[in-house]
Amino acid sequence: MTDLDDSKSTQSPSLLSVLGSVLASMFGVQSNRKREQDFTSGKPSHFILVGLLVTVVFILMVWGVVKLVMKVAAPELE
C-alpha cells in the first residue's frame, strides 16, 4: 500500500458515500470491499442516522403513492 492509499482509507466517508452505502445495503448489492471500507473508516452513528432517514422517506413515499392511488381509484371514499 502507498501513503496515498493509507490516507484515503483513514478518511471519514462523505455524506454521499454514506448514502450510497446505505442504499446499496438496503437493496442487498453492497460489495464486500465497500462494506469493509465502511466498517473501517465510517462512524456507525452516521450510517444509522442515514439509514433511519432513508427508511422514513421510503415509508412516506409508499404512503403517498397509496393515498394517490386510492384517490384516483375511488374518489368517493375520500
Given this model, what pLDDT does residue 4 score? 46
Query: What is the tens place of the pLDDT at every residue in 14-41?
Result: 989 999 999 998 888 888 898 888 889 8
Q: What CA–CA distances, in Å, run from 5 to 1, 17, 33, 37, 59?
A: 6, 17, 14, 12, 39
What's the domain range around 63? 3-77
Query: What's the number of domains the chain is made of?
Result: 1
* CA atoms in the 13 A half-sphere facing the CB of 42: 23
Q: How many residues does the chain have?
A: 78
pLDDT the model gives residue 59? 98
Arithmetic mean of pLDDT over the chain: 85
Query: Which amino acid is residue 58, in one-letter code?
Result: F
Percent of the chain with pLDDT strictly greater than 70: 83
Residue 3 is predicted with a pLDDT of: 46
